[in-house]
Chain A
């Protein structure tokens, strides 16, 4: 038998925490953001670097998933071309609600330096975007800060109320 004494009324000793549904659901959502591996170009390499040994994305509960059906956030990392545009829409539609989109890098934000015939001028012409990360390519720290801001955004939601689907149009 355990001989030590636990004071259940102090130091968080009570194995019960009281909170609201909103908070507990948002706590779960925000601390296990699974990202879809959507490396399109150079930024995809920095996205991989942030998942690898030095930057270690797992600390945030962010694990990269290869399937849109298991993912909560789509990190659009790289240039979206006109040929690819329909596929990003398909994959976005396949993700389950609630879902978020991070547009990583100048190309995904605005088309960036590729002001040409073949490049979509900003991924927000195709799908609604929650967070824009500047940089060409953004450092892994930028992506991590972006994920923390996204966590904050998720916490601000009311999980108990019906979520309004984000629509571009």
Chain B
């Protein structure tokens, strides 16, 4: 069958081979099943060893920062979902918190508890997904199927709350749109009670697995200096000997009221990162148990507020909009024209499952942000591949990309 005519040259640069110095250039991606998205790597090889790595990104650049400059603040919320689409609510939350800091809103306690529940569920979802895909890349298909099974339970809970499986948009500026459904806590409890056994199952399959250990131990060692210099955050940094978790160090929401540990390691290799992800799942479960108690206390104390009260920036509750003229007018203005935060700028960092997710907002008093910069952790975790890969062998590339846990919606934005 004749090929459809096009202008593209035959694509032979996938492999170039130079007889003189025995150097081979291998092109990996941009559509590679174990690249976790659209990563393109140009690898210079000496036999099987990598001498130079050149990651090329931007294959999922969708212009979110430009979009934000042309949108009212609330309109941008669903776009943040598509950044780190494995854990959408954590992006929603990062943006909501940045705007709240900018305008100075105080979120009601019950909303804070619900937000924390969503954040931790998202962290669990993200870590389970990380485990599934990394294990699949290394060849452990069973773990992939197991971890996806658990992830589906969480997805059902989230779907019951906000109606979407993947792109939640479950958090609003100033609070949360609605209370959790009746079955939320029961379902969550059932899941959390099963989780330790599930994590143990994964660890039984992996921890002493010879293949897993050979692919993970002493591979992809990130030193502390390198991690700090490259701006690594989250599990990448904690595996390299820095015990830094924004939830602990600069607590937001009610993270200062819950008890949890920050797992860290000084090894810096793939296996250390794997262990940290597993431990963090246990810690998330611990936090979730505590938030359930906190939520039940909120219910007992009769705290029903879910959105901050600030007529200038936040629409009134639905009942007020339907019954009071002034609330309706405010709502109309806020929906059509958007809120106008004060002139100023803010940088707020939150601990997303991948690391430090920062939103820099420069407001000039208009309904659109003048400049919005998304500081996504994966961007730097991809950049570090430049320095990390040289010296390693081809099979290590896949396991290193796996443990850096990069998501391309976030890298390219």
Contact = CB atoms under 8 A, between A and B. Distances in A.
Q: Are any A and B Cβ atoms less than 8 Å apart in their complex? A: yes
Interface of A: 37-42, 44-46, 48-49, 52-54, 64, 66, 78-79, 81, 83-84, 86-87, 89-91, 93, 97, 113-114, 116-119, 136-137, 139, 163, 165, 167-169
Contact of A46 (B38, B60, B165): B165
Nearest to A38: B31
A114 B60 CA distance: 11
Nearest to A93: B3
B86 interface: yes
Contact of A136 (B61, B145, B155, B167): B167
Contact of A40 (B58, B60, B133, B148): B60
A88 B81 CA distance: 25
Given A46-B166, A136-B167, A165-B1, A83 B59 contact: yes
Contacts of B67: 114, 116
A167 B5 CA distance: 9
A84 B30 contact: yes
B62 A53 contact: no
Contacts, number: 109
B129 interface: yes
Given A41-B85, A42-B81, A116-B62, 4 more contacts: A54-B148, A81-B60, A114-B67, A117-B66
Contact of A87 (B6, B30, B33, B81): B30
B167 A137 contact: yes
A124 to B, nearest CB: 13
Interface string B154-185: 01000000000111000000000000000000
B27 to A, nearest CB: 11
B148 A37 contact: no
Contact of B82 (A41, A46, A52, A81): A41
Contacts of A167: 4
Contacts of A116: 62-63, 66-67
A8 B148 CA distance: 46
Interface residues of B, number: 44
Given A87-B31, A137-B166, A42 B4 contact: no
Nearest to B409: A41
Nearest to A37: B33
B45 to A, nearest CB: 20
B38 to A, nearest CB: 6
A91 B2 CA distance: 15
Contacts of A93: 3-4, 6
B132 interface: yes
B85 A90 contact: no
Contact of A86 (B8, B86, B155): B8
A52 B144 contact: yes
B167 A42 contact: yes
Contacts of A136: 167
B152 interface: yes
Contacts of B60: 40-41, 78-79, 81, 84
Contacts of A118: 61-63
B19 to A, nearest CB: 27
B79 A45 contact: no
Interface string B383-413: 0000000000000000000000000110010
Contact of A79 (B32, B62, B148): B62
B149 interface: yes
B62 A119 contact: yes
A49 to B, nearest CB: 7
Nearest 3 CB-CB pairs, A to B?
A116-B63, A52-B148, A42-B85
A39 B412 CA distance: 15
B398 to A, nearest CB: 12
Contact of B58 (A39, A66, A83, A89): A83
B263 interface: no
A81 B148 contact: no
A61 B129 CA distance: 24
Interface string B45-66: 0000000000000111111001
B4 A165 contact: yes
B152 A53 contact: yes
A86 B78 CA distance: 29
